Amino acid sequence: MDSNPNPNPKPHICQCICQCIGHILTVRRHATVTISSSGTRQKTGEQFVNSIIDHTKDLTELGISNGDVIAIAALNSEWYMEWFLAITSVGGIVAPLNPRWSLKEAREAVEVVKPVVLVVDECFRQWVVDLKIPSIRFNVVIGRDSFILNCSTGKDVFSIERTSQEPMTPFNYQWAPNNVALICFTSGTTGRPKGVAISHMALVVQAQAKISIVKYDTNDVYLHTTPLCHIGGLSSCIAVLLAGGCHVFIPRFDAKKAVKAIEHNYVTALITVPAILSDLIIVLRKQNRNCGDSVRKLLNGGGGLSVKLIADASSFFPHAAIISAYGMTEAGSSLTFITLYDPLSMKCGDIFKNSSDGIMHDSDSVTHLGGSCVGKPPPHIELQIRSITCDGPSFTGRIFTRGAHVMVGYWDSSAEMMYVLNKHDWLDTRDVGWVDSSGNLWLLERVANMIKSGGENVYPNEVEAILSLHPGVSNAVVFGIPNHRLTEIVVACVYLRENWKWIYGENMNTTHLKELSSETLKKHCMQKNLTRFKMPKFYIPWSKPFPYTTTGKLKRDDIRKEIMSSYLNTILSNL
């Protein structure tokens, strides 16, 4: 194809993908590139590219100009991918809306980014009526029967046809101001989500890193298990596009449908968060089978995997390399990667032992010196550890990152970038950690979650990891509550494993081995050599699964608020 006529030297996501189009058309011109969940819709490489070109023409006819924001409210589909690429290719900025949002949350987000076009699928067509935002000039309904509505007249502008037989022509790429391609809303564990402006450069370098580390290639059949509105799902989607793989869509994640799609389409790669992986394993266990020979690449994000979950995953996906990534929306997706299981070089179980990379894999948890190993950064990412109390370097401290992957800024309602990096362009991740002699990053805690007790810093992740080693504890959440003497005291909520019973006081029945109490957990913490000031002063049995965001982040503050409202007097009276 001809070179990009735009003199802007920065990489454009569509330009980089277009450089692969010749490759796609060579190996997949008449082969499948996208498959719907039902298998009834399939597109070849040629059809996929021509659909993108058709949409760029539609957007040009609507008068879309550089920097215009276009919001998308839709479930995962090939139409979503096509419109994302078409919007960015004409200089527009894509603002994906979370399908799990309420109408109120969606309206708040739309009011911030002020889109000129709202793209919806049939599931969100009612939002066209309900989201009455003055900035929106056109509504685009995508699907089998797609059309564009003029908001001022309420009439069709034209129907969208995807039957173009014209020869493929090069895109005349356009760039939005500051090279922004995407406004991706953070899921947030508390408060109102922020719109994170991400550049073309960030999308490209992060996708290329995934290709290098996960090893996506032309032979991959990739199942979309996470929403395209989240940076993890979108970044992996772009990586597979650049690699020339095939995409299989399920609109929303459903474990049974995902297993069926894996088997029917011989899926080779997928991404998960811990909740998704756990649900897949539950279905496979009930069906008494694994996912056969097809799945070879499993990338996890949105939270670390317990060793038990890793072991289960290696059993039910026996031929898959299991890789976990640590990252954040503001960093354009993943900052570090770690291979948790490699079927080509180790047997199931070897992941729990000391390995050649120098990482200590405890028999029950990938923890060491109060942290969880999240691996090494790819070459384009720079990390720095700084003191929590000052701005200098430190062995343990706040994790900063710098590079082309870092966001442009936070987007506000005046379209200004409200976030300014410091003078050396470092982004404060607000996480606390340290780097070992082999270059592995160990994650301790969010600065906001750190507990200050008796003048000492307590990292909840460290205490939670110790508590989770007890055979009766399925999961634990640790936080601090105010105390006039210690500033904060450490409190733990524990979710028991099936068939285990919580006993109050010391009335343990020694004949019933599956009983748990505060005293039992105190002894457990001492046996695991947890420092005394880090030990919880109060334990609360939790009777339901802990709440998580759609990206798998623990809603720690929700748990803390519930405990404060229901148990505070009990806790204080027992101190």
The domain spans of the chain are 13-352, 450-575
pLDDT band (50, 70, 90) for residue 149? confident
CB 96 within 8 A of CB 184: yes
Write out the DSSP string of 304-316.
Answer: PPPHHHHHHHHHH
Share of the chain above pLDDT 70, in %: 81
Whole-number Å distance between alpha carbons of 405 and 343: 30
User: How far is it, in rounded angstroms, from Cα 341 to Cα 104?
Assistant: 42
Mean pLDDT, range 197-213, rounded to an integer:
95
SS3 assignment, position 453? strand
C-alpha to C-alpha distance for 399 and 330, rounded to whole angstroms: 13
Least confident of 182-196, 431-445, 490-504: 182-196
Band of the pLDDT at 511, cuts 50, 70, 90?
low
Q: Are 274 and 300 in contact (CB under 8 A)?
A: yes
Per-residue confidence (pLDDT) for residue 353, from 0 to 100: 43
Cα–Cα distance between 272 and 258 in angstroms, integer? 11
Burial readout 100-119 (b: 16 or more C-beta within 10 A, e: otherwise): ebeeeebbebbebbbbbbbb
Task: Give the pLDDT band of residue 31 (cuts 50, 70, 90).
Answer: confident
> Class of the 13-352 domain?
alpha beta
Tokens 């290329």 sit at which residue?
208
Report residue 523's pLDDT band, with 50, 70 and 90 as the boundaries. very high
Classify 450-575 by CATH class. alpha beta
Distance CA 430, CA 307 (A): 26
- Under the banding of pLDDT at 50, 70 and 90, the label for residue 1 is very low
Give the count of beta carbons closer than 10 Å to the beta carbon of residue 497: 14
Residue 16 has pLDDT above 90, yes or no: no
User: Which of 46-50, 95-99, 253-257 shows the lowest per-residue confidence on average (mean pLDDT)?
Assistant: 46-50
Quote the pTM value. 0.80
Q: Between 284 and 159, whose confidence is greater?
A: 284
116, 68 Cβ separation under 8 angstroms: yes
Q: Is the pLDDT of residue 452 over 90?
A: no
Q: Which residues contact 27 (CB under 8 A, 6 or more apart)?
A: 45, 218, 244
How far apart CA 417 and CA 67 sit, in angstroms, is 13
Q: What pLDDT, in 10s, does the model give residues 529-569? A: 888 888 999 999 988 888 887 666 788 888 888 888 877 66
Q: What is the pLDDT of residue 356?
A: 40
Written as six digits, the tokens of 172 are: 């005349």
What is the rounded CA–CA span in Å between residue 71 and residue 92? Answer: 10
What is the pLDDT at residue 157?
59
Give CA 328 to chain center in angstroms.
7
Q: What's residue 493's pLDDT?
A: 94
Per-residue pLDDT band at 498 (split at 50, 70, 90) = confident
Which pLDDT belongs to residue 70?
Answer: 97
- Compute CA distances 544 → 275, 320, 559, whole Å: 15, 31, 11
Which of the four pLDDT bands, split at 50, 70 and 90, describes residue 508?
Answer: low
pLDDT confidence bin for 404, thresholds 50/70/90 = very high
Distance CA 500, CA 299 (A): 32
Of 127-136, 285-294, 474-483, 513-522, the least confident: 285-294
Gap between the Cα atoms of 143 and 485, Å rounded: 61
Side by side, which strands form the sheet with 372-375? 372-375, 441-446, 427-435, 397-402, 382-386
Would you mind telling me the total number of residues written for the chain in this entry? 575
Asked if residues 305 and 278 have their Cβ atoms less than 8 Å apart, the reply is: no
Give the integer Cα–Cα distance in Å for 165 and 556. Answer: 54
Name the pairing type of β-strands 156-159 and 538-542: unpaired
User: Residue 340 and residue 350: Cα distance in Å, rounded?
Assistant: 10
pLDDT at 364: 37
Q: In whole angstroms, what is the distance from residue 101 CA to residue 550 CA?
A: 10
Which of 279-283, 290-294, 432-436 is predicted with the least confidence, judged by mean pLDDT?
A: 290-294
For the chain, the straight-line distance linking the first and the last C-alpha, in angstroms and rounded, comes to: 73
Residue 360's pLDDT band, with cuts at 50, 70 and 90, is very low
Task: Report, as an integer, the average pLDDT of 187-195.
Answer: 60
| pLDDT recorded at residue 401 | 95
Winning range, highest mean pLDDT, from 259-273, 405-419, 482-496:
259-273
Confidence band (pLDDT; 50, 70, 90) for 293? confident
297-306 pLDDT per residue, tens:
999 987 778 7
Question: For the ranges 79-88, 169-178, 402-411, which has the lowest average pLDDT?
Answer: 169-178
Mean pLDDT computed over 327-346: 90
* Element at 482 (helix H, strand E): strand 473-483
pLDDT of residue 2: 41
Residue 60 scores a pLDDT above 60: yes
What average pLDDT does the segment 511-519 reach?
81
Q: What is the DSSP letter of 257?
A: H
